Structure 1
Amino acid sequence: MIDRLLWAQQQALLLFEEAEKRQLVAPGKTESVLNNEIYELAFEMFGIRKYWHKRIVRAGANTLLPYRENPPDLTLQDDDILFFDFGPVFEEWEADLGRTYVIGNNPRKLKLQSDIATAWQKGSNFYQAHSNITGAQLYQYICQLANDDGWQFGAAMAGHLIGHFPHENLENEKPDNYIHPHNHKPMRANYASGKPRYWILEIHFIDPELKIGGFYEQVLH
């Protein structure tokens, strides 16, 4: 199963890379326009229209906000930061990929872009090093990484389950489904059926004073 999840993730990476090659991230464009351009690019490249969660493009002050928010549509600026959070479904396998982009050369924004990628890798290493780690323990570790780098962690959870479409419903708010401060269950525990569980690790660091945030997510494996 993990091989198929990683395959789906690789397709999503190819999508984001092609969006960069085509210079779709450009000032003067609204979040919604860019969102639709990536949606159409995914159809052009892979013939897909199915997404297991809402497609997110957030720029500027909207990058402070976690997934569940639905802020007003912003226009990308010459000196901006933005992120993608897309959950395309490839041959019934779910991807969930988040990446941050910087327009211009603002050093604080570039640092944020770098720090979240590094934090994801540190979080992955921490997960691999602790066989009985709980969601609460990994969440606490990620929050500490944010503080160590001079940021705040911007969400109530740092990831969730992922799988074959449709995977277990995540809307029921059970902490066990999330990398969450109230999830005290070992992350490597199987489903009740005995099947293994797989996780997405999400990094969302923010600076409320500068009104910027960065987001990076992909499969833990």
Structure 2
Amino acid sequence: MSTALSENAALSGKEAVGERFVLDTMRHAQQLTWKAVDAIAAVIKPGMLESEATARGKEILAELGMDRIWHPLLIRFGANTLKTFKQRSDGDPVLGEDDIFFIDMGVVWQGHEGDAGATYTSGSDPEMKACAAAAKALFDRVEAFWREGVSGVELYRYATDQAEAMGWMLNLNIKGHRVSDFPHAIHRGGDLGDFEQAPNAGVWILEIQIAHPTRPFGAFYEDLLI
């Protein structure tokens, strides 16, 4: 099993946290972030522009009482689901009746960083539904492997092999990252996929982004390892 981080643990280096860090508050931030993801997904409907979904998502986050956004809210429709975090969307697509989209958000609650993302479909396209389900299924496999106490490098090596076995292509430009009490960036934790030790619980986000092997769409899923 991966070492569970206690509230009083003195972490250093790539896993350093601030004096305000509390593991239970990280768990609370995770729960509130998933509540927000679900609320935003529920209002995204065919005919909506990607920009309209993003604007409504920001309103929902404000209504839910977030402290602040620590990374931009990303909502991607259709072919834009192949884009990585740092890439801009192409145009401002309209969500179709049979389409795919994902939500990716980083939000601060009670001074702690939540980060979650998931993929949804608007219709009955079987390959889109399979792709969305596969991102979550692959996440679950890799999360279970993490619990065996392996390194971050081994996690993404395993994720690559599993994605291939499942018939999908893993985007290795997305390899997970640090979170903590805000702001985690001062600790320079780097990517989870480059971390050569067994990642502690409560301070790393596992990211999975896959692409359909022949069609122009993909799927994304991320959550806190805890």
Name the TM-score, length of structure 2 as normaliser: 0.84
- Report the alpha carbon displacement of residue 113 of structure 1 after superposing the two structures with TM: 1.3
Deviation at 1:169, TM superposition (A): 4.1
Query: Post-superposition shift, 1:153?
Result: 0.6
Q: Corresponding residue for 2:167?
A: 150
Structure 2 counterpart SS, 1:88: strand
What is the correspondence of 1:200-211 to structure 2 with a 5 Å cutoff?
A: 200-207=205-212, 209-211=214-216
Instruction: Please tell me whether residue 140 in structure 1 is matched to residue 145 in structure 2.
Output: no
Q: Which amino acid aligns with 2:32?
A: Q
How far residue 136 of structure 1 moved from its aligned partner, in angstroms, is: 1.5
Residue range with higher mean Cα deviation, 36-45 or 79-88: 36-45
Partners in 2 of 1:197 and 1:105 — Cα distance? Answer: 36
Question: 1:186 aligned to 2:205?
Answer: no
Count matched residues.
204
8 A contact 1:79–1:104 mirrored in 2: yes
Contact 2:167–2:213 (Cα < 8 Å) also in 1: no
1:24 and 2:43 correspond: yes
Match of 1:215 among 205, 208, 220: 220
- The answer to whether the 8 A contact 1:79-1:106 is kept is yes
Match of 1:10 in 2: 31
Contact 1:65 1:154 in 2 (8 A): no
Q: CA deviation at 1:4?
A: 1.2
Instruction: Tell me whether 1:114 sits opposite 2:133 in the alignment.
Output: yes
Deviation (angstroms), 1:12: 1.2
Contact 1:142/1:158, CA 8 A, preserved across alignment: no
Per the alignment, residue 6 of structure 2 pairs with none
> Counterparts in 2 of 1:53-92, with a 5 A limit?
53-72=71-90, 73-92=92-111
TM-fit CA distance, 1:168: 2.8
3-state SS, counterpart of residue 53 of structure 1: strand
CA distance in 2, matches of 1:200, 1:187: 13
Change over 3 Å in CA distance of 1:141–1:197 after alignment to 2? same
For residues 116-131 of structure 1, what are the structure 2 equivalents within 5 Å? 116-129=135-148, 131=149
Aligned to 2:204: 199
> What is the CA distance between 1:208 and its match in structure 2?
5.0
Segments of structure 1 that go 5 or more residues without pairing to the other structure are: 190-195
The correspondence for 2:181, drawn from 164, 175, 200, is 164
CA distance in 2, matches of 1:49, 1:28: 31
The AA in structure 1 aligned to 2:105 is F
Which amino acid in structure 2 is aligned with residue 24 of structure 1?
V
Measured in 1, the distance between the counterparts of 2:202 and 2:78 equals: 35
2:19 is aligned to: none
Alignment partner of 2:160: what SS?
A: helix
Query: Would the aligned equivalents of 1:202 and 1:216 in 2 still touch at CA under 8 Å?
Result: yes
Unaligned residue ranges in structure 2 (runs of 5+) = 1-21
Q: CA deviation at 1:85?
A: 0.4
Relative to 1, partners in 2 of residues 1:169 and 1:155: Cα closer, same or farther, differing over 3 Å?
A: farther
**1:67 aligned counterpart, secondary structure:** coil
Partner of 2:70: 52
Amino acid at match of 1:35: T
Give the TM-score of the pair, scaled to structure 1. Answer: 0.86
Would you identify which runs of 4 or more consecutive aligned residues in structure 1 move more than 2 Å? 16-20
